[in-house]
Chain A
Amino acid sequence: MAAEAFFIMWLALAVLSIFFAVLPTGKHRLCVQKGACGKSAAAVPLCTLCGMILVLLAFGCAGALRIGAWCILLCAEAAGVVLVVRRRRSKDGGFAALLRARCCTPAWGVCFGGSALLAVLLAVKQPLFTQWDEFSFWGTAAHAVWRHDALYTLLETTNLEARTYPPAAALLSYIFTFLSDTFAPWALYAAYGVLTFAVFGAVVGLAEEKKTAAAAFGTLLCVLAPFAVESAGAGQRLNAYATAYADHMLGVLTAGGCAVWLGSTGRRGTPLCGGALAAALAKTACVSAVLGLVKDVGLPLGLVVFLVCTADHFANDFLRYKKDGRAWLRLVCVGAVLAGTAVLSYMVWAKHLAAALDSDRSYAGGSAGLSTVGMLVSGIKELLGIGRTEHFSAVFSAMVGAFLGRRVSVFGSGILTAATIMGIFALAFALERKGQRRRVVCFAAASGIGFAGYYFFQLLCYVYVFSAHDGLNLVSYGRYMGIYYLFWLLGAVCALLHAAAGRRQGCMTVMACAALVLAACWLNVRVQDTFLGRFDAAWAEQTVIEERAQQALAAAGADSDDDRVLLVAQWDDGGRWYRYAYALEPLPLYHAGLDNTIVAPETEGPFSIRLDAQSIGGFLRKEGITLLLLDVVDYDFWAEFRPLFTDGMTGYEQGSCHVYRVCQQEDGSVLFVPYTAKTEAVHE
């Protein structure tokens, strides 16, 4: 079912994209047909998808997510009808020609062909979630949104803990799963893939439509980019294209914003003004707005999009500033709209959080308890040496050392990666027409400044948000920096393809770059470490967990409102708690700091609930727990609590029963009755 649901919405996206791509009529349409104005439709699928996410967010905040999704589907159907009618009415074949010119391009092939191929590969593999944060937030959030047809901020009971995270990734997966009657992780991966390939399409569209060869090698560059920035040496497991984490999505979307902007500025470099400028701004703002709603770090990345696009516009309009006073106005306008969008999308979610959860988004989290602005201010102060703490200096030198020494991509350390990317920019510079070269310089410079800013932001996070130990060790450094390197690499590819369009040497240069990146990946990425080489053994543990969770869900029945589950997973580090929280959604799971290890009252330990056979009854009554889910049991638990189980725990030992119903006795003691479909019938 998940596959049908996915492809129906994939088709809906295609129809809506075609509708928007052939929307221009009259004079504009003629010029499109002739290819005179050169406005590419490559970015239309990306903008349509981002628009869908924004529409869903609006409906979601109003508490009508499902209605919003159906509205999108109905709009797509209406658009399909309009297209068919237009096709019938067009007698001279003009409409068909328009359709061919706008939609039969390599860019659209990459977008829809690539996403369909990825979806088929994933549907065959049927991967499950495996990584920590897929359970603690990304996957569980998407599951909760799908299960309840509502934004997780508006839910009353949910196992999701981090409810203040922005929702764009969960909404994206909702678009492609809401018609399905089961929640399949592969559909979420495929949904992320649609967005990724929509961006790749927009990037590839920067090479001219007729240049299939340049587009093909551009596609190769794009497809390899996530692997290139994730792999820090052979043998490392790679999650690119099959992860619920939003990091790659952030990097790709940032590049998408720049690609949309570059694509709408026209091939011949005629500076934008009037309606075309407004259209370009609207399209870029659409992508930038979604970027700000993916993750908190989307705000700095949205500002990077603003920086790059404003710099590009400045360079593009360069010769007019002396003659034309309105050129300055246009520049201010571009800057204001793009910076405003980034901040606005951040503020919208902050407002929603304040209304729905009464929580303050400006709080940056962490031990220091600073607001984002406060963090920035004290960070800049410390950087300048005013009241610099020892911790700041230590993290600062660790960050500098990591840039020089830590391997972050197939190209090597941060500095080598940056050098490679700058090399691609240099090729783009050499390839670009003379009048346009300052645009490449501005792009490279702006993205370089953006890198410095992002690096500084990351430093602040390590100093103020992470614990002292994690901050000093630069936890997940590669993953966080991978976001920017991915954007940077794709941005360089954008500049390269934009420069290569229509140049004889263009295709050869793109080919050489693709060969370079392919060689670097060949040496550092093993196919068996990517999702293509992963097999069912990788999901064995999660399969077992989901089976047991199904048992608990069956025990709770349709009206799960009165039931509450206590998970027993002895000596777990919290990971299994999150895994069950994901699998059990909507059934509430007891938690007080992920406690799921039951120990004797006098013992100490992480994630422990201190109980013995006498006190467990009172505890369960007080917490309203009605079901016991035995996941992992150790000898101590077995010895202490076995008498309370009516089957003497034989069900657990044989592996046939992991769910026990809590039966409170009248004398205050408690008994655990094994759950099977049969006993439950008698019970009722």
Chain B
Amino acid sequence: MSKKGFVRLLAALYAAAVLLCAAGQLLWVKGMTQAEPRSLSVQEAQLSSIRTDYGAKWLDYTATDILTTDNDARLVWTVREKVSGLRVCIQASRPVDDVELYYTTAPGQEYSLERRLSPVHFDAERGEYTFRLPKAVRVESLRLDPTSTAGCFLKLKEIHLNPPLTLREKLLPAAPELLCVAFAPPLMAFAVRELLTMIREIKYPKEGPAAPVSRKE
């Protein structure tokens, strides 16, 4: 393949990549916005390793809040609808880390690391965590693991299912997609060039400048 042909191929692949990425982003946004925003509450959730009836008042934590009893506290909501994400404000008596969200897509499905989400956004002032599913899917249940420490008082406020996308989320694809757009076209162009060269060599074994190098060199 000539140099000019290669450059043209590269340009075409770049154009295709940008278009694909834009189309993918558009479809993703469309799917995400189809999920209806609504709010959830702690009362609706099944709680495990969590007490709500401890009675004592300490600092400004009162009986409406929750206390974790061991290091595996969970709140499970059965939602059975299309879900794009979750936003929750967590105020805790001791610093929490490892706030995680698991989801299942079918009844009876086990929670697994493959369907674990880490927060994509954190507002330190409000203690607000935002989770996003890779794409909007019908979700059977959501499991929030607010902390991995026992004896932690928690206030969970403003639990929003399917919070609306921010402008940046709508417009800008994530870093991995952008890296793909940047690096996939040249790799593909090289691959196409090598394939074409190989095909030509098979077709015209002894002609042209691209004759195979002798093994005895």
When the two chains form their complex, are residues A533 and B114 in contact, meaning their CB atoms are under 8 A apart?
no
**A235-B112, A511-B194 known; A536 and B58 CB under 8 Å?**
no
Rounded to whole Å, the gap between the CB of A347 and the closest CB of chain B is: 42
Most chain A beta-carbon neighbours within 10 Å: one of B59, B195, B216: B59
A220 contact set on B, CB distance < 8 A: 187
Instruction: Indicate if A507 sits at the interface (CB-CB under 8 A).
Output: yes
Rounded to whole Å, the gap between the CB of A62 and the closest CB of chain B is: 42
**A502-B213, A535-B120 known; A212 and B179 CB under 8 Å?**
no
| A176 CA to B193 CA, complexed, in Å | 40
Most chain B beta-carbon neighbours within 10 Å: one of A503, A535, A545: A535
**A220-B187, A537-B129, A540-B97 known; A532 and B179 CB under 8 Å?**
yes
**A121-B175, A540-B122, A541-B97 known; A635 and B58 CB under 8 Å?**
yes
**A121-B175, A535-B120, A540-B97 known; A433 and B215 CB under 8 Å?**
yes
Instruction: Indicate if A600 sits at the interface (CB-CB under 8 A).
Output: no
Rounded to whole Å, the gap between the CB of A45 and the closest CB of chain B is: 21
| A527 CA to B212 CA, complexed, in Å | 40
| A425 CA to B120 CA, complexed, in Å | 41
Instruction: Indicate if B134 sits at the interface (CB-CB under 8 A).
Output: yes
B30 contact set on A, CB distance < 8 A: none
B215 contact set on A, CB distance < 8 A: 433-434
When the two chains form their complex, are residues A217 and B116 in contact, meaning their CB atoms are under 8 A apart?
no
Rounded to whole Å, the gap between the CB of A275 and the closest CB of chain B is: 26
Rounded to whole Å, the gap between the CB of A135 and the closest CB of chain B is: 13
When the two chains form their complex, are residues B176 and A532 in contact, meaning their CB atoms are under 8 A apart?
yes
| A540 CA to B122 CA, complexed, in Å | 8
Instruction: Indicate if A653 sits at the interface (CB-CB under 8 A).
Output: yes
When the two chains form their complex, are residues B174 and A533 in contact, meaning their CB atoms are under 8 A apart?
yes
Instruction: Indicate if A80 sits at the interface (CB-CB under 8 A).
Output: no
**A234-B114, A535-B121, A653-B59 known; A504 and B190 CB under 8 Å?**
no
Rounded to whole Å, the gap between the CB of B30 and the closest CB of chain A is: 21
B216 contact set on A, CB distance < 8 A: 434
Rounded to whole Å, the gap between the CB of B94 and the closest CB of chain A is: 5
A528 contact set on B, CB distance < 8 A: 117-118, 134
A631 contact set on B, CB distance < 8 A: 95
**A433-B217, A544-B95 known; A216 and B190 CB under 8 Å?**
yes
When the two chains form their complex, are residues A235 and B201 in contact, meaning their CB atoms are under 8 A apart?
no
Partner of B187, one of A217, A234, A571: A217
CB-CB nearest in chain A for B195: A508
Most chain A beta-carbon neighbours within 10 Å: one of B58, B59, B95, B114: B95
Instruction: Indicate if A236 sits at the interface (CB-CB under 8 A).
Output: yes
**Chain B 189-217 residues near chain A, CB threshold 8 A:** 190-191, 193-195, 198, 201, 210, 212-213, 215-217
When the two chains form their complex, are residues A537 and B122 in contact, meaning their CB atoms are under 8 A apart?
yes
Instruction: Indicate if B47 sits at the interface (CB-CB under 8 A).
Output: no
Instruction: Indicate if B151 sits at the interface (CB-CB under 8 A).
Output: yes
| A540 CA to B120 CA, complexed, in Å | 12
Partner of B113, one of A216, A236, A534: A236
When the two chains form their complex, are residues A511 and B191 in contact, meaning their CB atoms are under 8 A apart?
yes
When the two chains form their complex, are residues B176 and A538 in contact, meaning their CB atoms are under 8 A apart?
no
When the two chains form their complex, are residues A235 and B118 in contact, meaning their CB atoms are under 8 A apart?
no
Instruction: Indicate if A213 sits at the interface (CB-CB under 8 A).
Output: yes
Rounded to whole Å, the gap between the CB of A178 and the closest CB of chain B is: 29
Rounded to whole Å, the gap between the CB of B202 and the closest CB of chain A is: 11
When the two chains form their complex, are residues B151 and A233 in contact, meaning their CB atoms are under 8 A apart?
no
Partner of B212, one of A235, A434, A504, A535: A504
The 6 closest A-B pairs by CB, nearest first: A235-B113, A537-B122, A537-B119, A213-B190, A527-B176, A541-B97
Interface residues of B (CB under 8 A from A): 56, 58-60, 94-97, 99, 112-122, 124, 129, 134, 151, 174-176, 179, 186-187, 190-191, 193-195, 198, 201, 210, 212-213, 215-217
23 interchain pairs (CB within 8 A)? A213-B191, A217-B187, A220-B187, A234-B113, A235-B112, A502-B213, A507-B190, A508-B194, A527-B174, A527-B176, A532-B174, A533-B176, A535-B118, A535-B120, A535-B121, A537-B119, A537-B121, A537-B122, A541-B96, A541-B97, A545-B95, A631-B95, A632-B94
Given A434-B215, A508-B195, list of 12 further CB < 8 A pairs? A213-B193, A217-B190, A235-B113, A235-B114, A434-B216, A511-B190, A527-B176, A533-B118, A533-B174, A537-B99, A538-B119, A634-B151
